[in-house]
Amino acid sequence: MEQTKTELHTHLMGMMTSERFLKFLSNYLDCVYWPLDEPISNASQTVPISSLLTDEDALDSLRIPHGTQVDYFTLDDRYATRTELLKLAVHKTFSRLYREVKEKHPDVIDETVKKAVTSTAETTVYNDYINSSLLELVNQGVEYVEISYSNPRIIANFVMDDYLKDKITCKFLLSTDRSRSLKNMRQSIKSLRTLLVTSFAVGIDIMGQERPFSTEELDPNNSKSFEKKLEMAFDELLQHNDTTLRIHSGEIPSKDNTLLTLRMIEHIATKKGITIPPPEIRIGHGLHFNPSEDYLSLLKKFHCIVELNASSNYGLGNIKDYSEVPYSYYLEHDIPVVIATDGHGLYDTSIITEDKIARLNTTKDQYDTILKTDAELLGKKVK
C-alpha cells in the first residue's frame, strides 16, 4: 500500500523504540538502575539489562503505550529516563576509553586524556543512537527525516553510517524553548548560525510547554515578546537557503495561539518588506484552533504546512478520539498537511500507524492529497 515517506516532526530523545533502546544500552551497560521511571538518585537496586528486554514494565518506562493516555509530568519522566540512561552509556564509554588510552600512553596528562575522551564518548554513543533510530525509520518506509534536538554539539558531530546513506536523508532542526529569555534566544540563534553553515541542520524548532500567550508575550515592545524571538529566528534563517521555521503550536486547547503567532509573522513580514516563505513555515500540531477566514488566509499567505501527530495528541490527552484530528478541515481548505509521529519510540507508534489513522479519518481524495504533498516535499528536500 502507498504510504507517506517523510517524517518531519520527531524529537531525538523520543525516536528509538523501547525494545531497541534497551538492546542498544546493552552494548554499553551490563546493569541499569531500577526502577527505571524514578530518578537515578531514588534507585534502590541495579538489575541486568538482559533481564529487562522482555519486561513490559521496563519497556513501558520508556514509552507511552499506544492507546493509553498520560499527563505532561509522565511525559517529562519518560524523557528524563531516556536521557539519564543515554548519559549513563556515555559515562561508561568514557571510563572504558579513558582506561584504554591511559594503558597505552601512561605519561599523557590526565586532563588532556579526559578532554579528548569526553567528546569521543559522547559522539560515539549519540551517533550510534541516531543511526540505530534511523534504521527503524528506514524499516517504516521513511526516506526523509528532520530530527529536532536542543544540543548543537550532538547535531554538529553527527555522522551517518554508510549503509544508511542511500536509504534515508537525515536533517536536523535546532530546538529552543519558547519561554527562553531574549538573551538565551540570542544564544540559540548563534548556535543555529554555526549549524546552518557547518552541519546537517536546516532550521529551528520553537517548542516547550505551550500555554496561552501572556500579555507580556503579546506586547511587541516587552522584553518577553514572542514576536521579538520570532524576528531573531527570521533574521538568521533568511541569511541561508532552504531553511525551516517550525513552531509547536495549537497542541493544547488554547485556541488562538496559532492565529496570534501567524499575526506576529505577518507583522514581521510587513516591517521587513519581505515575502514569506522563505523560510518554510511549519506548524507542529495545529490541533486546536478557532476555525476562521483569518486563520486560513494567514496559513495560505505563508504557505504553512501543518504537521499532524495523532498518536501523540491522543497519548497526551489533547483529544479523546482520532476523529478530532483536523485532517479534513485543513485539506478541505487546501492547507497542506503531513503525517508525523512526534517521536515514534516514545509514542509507541510508526509512520505506518500514523498513515493508517489518517486513512481512517479522511476520504480517499483527502488521503491522496496527503500522499501528493508528501511526494512533493520528498522531491524538494532530497536533492
Q: What three-state secondary structure class fits 207?
A: strand
Least Å from the CB of residue 343 to Zn ion? 7
Q: Which residue, 7 or 342, has its beta carbon nearer to Zn ion?
A: 342
Least Å from the CB of residue 201 to Zn ion? 17
The DSSP H or E segment spanning 31 is strand 31-34
Binders of Zn ion among residues 257 to 316 (CB under 5 A) are none
Helix, strand, coil shares of the chain, percent, nearest 5, are: 50, 15, 35
Rounded distance between C-alpha atoms, residue 43 and residue 37, angstroms: 9
Q: What three-state secondary structure class fits 339?
A: strand
Q: Is 16 in contact with 137 (CB distance < 8 Å)?
A: no
Binders of Zn ion among residues 336 to 355 (CB under 5 A) are 342
- The cell numbers describing 200, all together, are 546537517
Least Å from the CB of residue 312 to Zn ion? 7
Cis peptide preceding 336, ω within 30 of 0 = no
Least Å from the CB of residue 214 to Zn ion? 22
Residues in contact with Zn ion, counted by CB under 5 A, come to a total of 1
**Could you give the C-alpha distances from 50 to 31, 55, 81, 305, 328, in angstroms and in order?**
8, 10, 18, 43, 46
Within 13 Å, how many C-alpha atoms sit on residue 164's CB side? 23
| Residue given cell 520570532 in the structure block | 230
Q: Which residue, 279 or 286, has its beta carbon nearer to Zn ion?
A: 286
Least Å from the CB of residue 336 to Zn ion? 18
Rg from Cα positions in the chain: 21
User: Could you tell me which stretch among 18-26, 151-159, 231-239, 334-342 binds Zn ion (CB under 5 A)?
Assistant: 334-342
Least Å from the CB of residue 11 to Zn ion? 6
Q: Is the dihedral of CA 94, 95, 96, 102 positive or negative?
A: positive
Least Å from the CB of residue 99 to Zn ion? 39
Q: Which residue, 268 or 281, has its beta carbon nearer to Zn ion?
A: 281
H helix intervals, the chain: 18-26, 56-60, 72-104, 110-139, 152-156, 182-198, 215-218, 226-237, 257-272, 293-301, 310-315, 327-332, 351-360, 364-381
Binders of Zn ion among residues 101 to 120 (CB under 5 A) are none
Least Å from the CB of residue 203 to Zn ion? 14
User: Could you tell me which stretch among 25-33, 69-77, 90-98, 335-343 binds Zn ion (CB under 5 A)?
Assistant: 335-343
Q: Characterise 208 by phi-psi region: left (phi > 0), alpha (psi -120 to 50), beta (else).
A: left
- Residue whose beta carbon is closest to Zn ion: 342
Binders of Zn ion among residues 111 to 170 (CB under 5 A) are none
Least Å from the CB of residue 60 to Zn ion? 21
One-letter identity of residue 338: V
Q: Is 63 in contact with 77 (CB distance < 8 Å)?
A: no
Q: Which residue, 146 or 342, has its beta carbon nearer to Zn ion?
A: 342
DSSP 370: H
Least Å from the CB of residue 337 to Zn ion? 15
Rounded distance between C-alpha atoms, residue 17 and residue 7, angstroms: 15
| Site for Zn ion, rule CB under 5 A | 342
